[in-house]
Amino acid sequence: MQAKTAGFPIVVVIGPQSPVFSGLRQWLKDALPRGPAGNFRTIAEALESSLLAAQPPDLTIVLREYSDQYAPQDVSHLIGRVLFSRLLCCSTAWCVSDGRTHDVWPIACRTELLTAEARIMHELQGFLQQQAPVSPIAAAEEVFTVHATAAEHSALAVRKGQSRAVRAFVMSSDLALRSTLQAVLQTAGVQAESGNDDVLAALLTQTPVAPPELLFVDLDDATQPEGLAARVAKGGVRVVAVTGFTGCRQPDWAEALLDKSEFSLQATDLLRRWVA
């Protein structure tokens, strides 16, 4: 049975005009049949508008250039107003120092500018298929599971762009997490395996076979895998750290730092640039 579809979504954008977001704003104009229904400089301005007073938009997009751009009370009021619709806060790299909590912007509402287009398309597809939005109070695991499907288009691009087979390994002590990350990589056409730090240590130091070309290491594990730093210094392997906490510093032995909640989007974008 095919899913029911809805009409055109009502989308509003909140945030001052900034060159940083000019590309995303233009993309929204091109991607939406009627363009955004409203553009507001601040959250307070949006909340006072007749557009949000009449009925919450289907998708509200907040453009955040730096961490303290919006007052916590304004964010709370906005979340309450659009609680049963879709809300995304698209943040630039300047926001990585927010800290280890998501009190201001819940993890379900966060996305990075780099992957914003894919995430917005995922939310619009969910609306058109009349799927319920993810609740702002959803746990990180639920958010990750829902958004894992958002990478399908990017994964296809990765597979088409590959000129050779690529091997990857996901290291985590969390069985469910590493299995999910492994599945995302396999969807992108990467030969992915997974295991804990003991398995990775064996791959790095004990086997005569060449180690995987790409390593995705769970940064939230307590210990660094044995032999990892030496293997990175030796060359021939690229390492990506993965974390569920904002504000974590990228370790010296990693070339990139990805967010677990948006791993499927960020990893496929990374692969598209690395493995072609």
Same domain, 180 and 129: no
What average pLDDT score do residues 190-217 get?
74
Confidence of residue 12 (pLDDT cuts 50, 70, 90): very high
Same domain, 181 and 120: no
**Residues 8/34, Cβ–Cβ less than 8 Å:** yes
**Which pLDDT tens digit goes with each residue over 165-182?**
678 888 888 888 888 888
Same domain, 89 and 202: no
Q: Comparing C-alpha atoms, which of 269, 261, 270, 210 is closest to residue 239?
A: 270
**Residues 58/209, Cβ–Cβ less than 8 Å:** no
Confidence of residue 73 (pLDDT cuts 50, 70, 90): very high
What average pLDDT score do residues 236-258 get?
81
What is the chain's mean pLDDT, rounded? 79
What average pLDDT score do residues 205-218 get?
72
In a domain, 226, yes or no: yes
Confidence of residue 255 (pLDDT cuts 50, 70, 90): confident
Q: Which residues contact 212 (CB under 8 A, 6 or more apart)?
A: 167, 168, 169, 193, 203, 237
Q: Which of 108, 138, 168 is the last residue of a domain?
A: 138
Sheet of 191-195, strands arranged across: 191-195, 167-171, 214-218, 238-243, 256-259
**Which pLDDT tens digit goes with each residue over 24-41?**
998 888 888 778 999 999
Measure the CA–CA gap between 236 and 152, rounded to whole angstroms: 28
Sheet of 38-40, strands arranged across: 38-40, 11-14, 59-64, 86-91, 110-112
208 or 118, which is more confident: 118
- 157-166, 188-197, 254-263: range with lowest mean pLDDT: 157-166
In a domain, 16, yes or no: yes
Q: Which of 138, 160, 182 is the last residue of a domain?
A: 138
1 or 124, which is more confident: 124
Residue 5, pLDDT score: 43
Residue 130: pLDDT over 60: yes
**Residues 248/257, Cβ–Cβ less than 8 Å:** yes
Same domain, 127 and 157: no
Residue 99, pLDDT score: 56
Same domain, 257 and 170: yes
Same domain, 15 and 133: yes
Measure the CA–CA gap between 35 and 29, rounded to whole angstroms: 5
Same domain, 164 and 266: yes
Residue 2, pLDDT score: 40
Residue 221: pLDDT over 80: no
What average pLDDT score do residues 3-11 get?
65
Q: Comparing C-alpha atoms, which of 251, 184, 191, 193 is closest to residue 221?
A: 251
List strand residue ranges (DSSP E) for 42-120, in order.
Answer: 59-64, 86-91, 110-112
Same domain, 123 and 175: no
Same domain, 132 and 156: no
CA 72 to chain centre: 22
**Residues 56/127, Cβ–Cβ less than 8 Å:** no
In a domain, 3, yes or no: no
Same domain, 172 and 238: yes
Same domain, 77 and 113: yes
In a domain, 1, yes or no: no
Q: Domain containing 227: what range?
A: 152-274
Residue 70, pLDDT score: 93
What average pLDDT score do residues 78-104 get?
80
In a domain, 235, yes or no: yes
On whether the pTM is more than 0.85, the answer is: no
Q: What angle do CA 103, 24, 186 make, to 5 degrees?
A: 75
The CATH number given to whatever domain includes residue 200 is: 3.40.50.2300
Q: Which of 90, 113, 138 is the last residue of a domain?
A: 138
Say how many domains are in the chain.
Answer: 2
Same domain, 122 and 226: no
DSSP, collapsed to helix, strand or coil, labels residue 158 as helix
Measure the CA–CA gap between 197 and 217, rounded to whole angstroms: 9
Report residue 226: phi and psi, to 5°: -60, 135
Residue 214: pLDDT over 70: yes
In a domain, 4, yes or no: no
In a domain, 146, yes or no: no
Q: Which residues contact 61 (CB under 8 A, 6 or more apart)?
A: 11, 12, 13, 14, 28, 36, 88, 90, 120
Q: Which residues contact 243 (CB under 8 A, 6 or more apart)?
A: 218, 219, 220, 257, 258, 259, 260
In a domain, 240, yes or no: yes
